[in-house]
Amino acid sequence: MIQTWTFNQLAKLRYYRPDIVDQAVAEILACQSELRWLVVTGAYLDGEINLGKAAELLSLHRLELQNRFLMQGIPLRLGSETPEEAKAETDAIMNWNSSAEENPLL
């Protein structure tokens, strides 16, 4: 059984050697889909990431994740929470519109 001190030491080690700790955590999350789901969902619920980022980390389309969250009773946070987030979303839409105008589908 892993003791609490192990996690504390990993957190401290990450300050000095983020490469080692980040790689180890990434490998664990890549291999453990249930753990990845729980970590990403927890980060979403804590407001650390938005729905789009959660979907990206889980390799799901945003609407698919939104539907899964609804089915599991996980509250959705839709819309921008900060001015920076709103600007980023607006910029992404503007870029998408520009590229759509340059390359219209026929």
* Among candidate residues 84, 79, 91, the one with its CA nearest the CA of residue 50: 79
pTM value is 0.68
18-62 pLDDT, tens digit each? 999 999 999 999 999 999 999 999 999 999 999 999 999 999 999
Domain boundaries, the chain: 4-78
Residue 55 CB burial class (10 angstroms; 0-12, 13-18, ≥19): buried
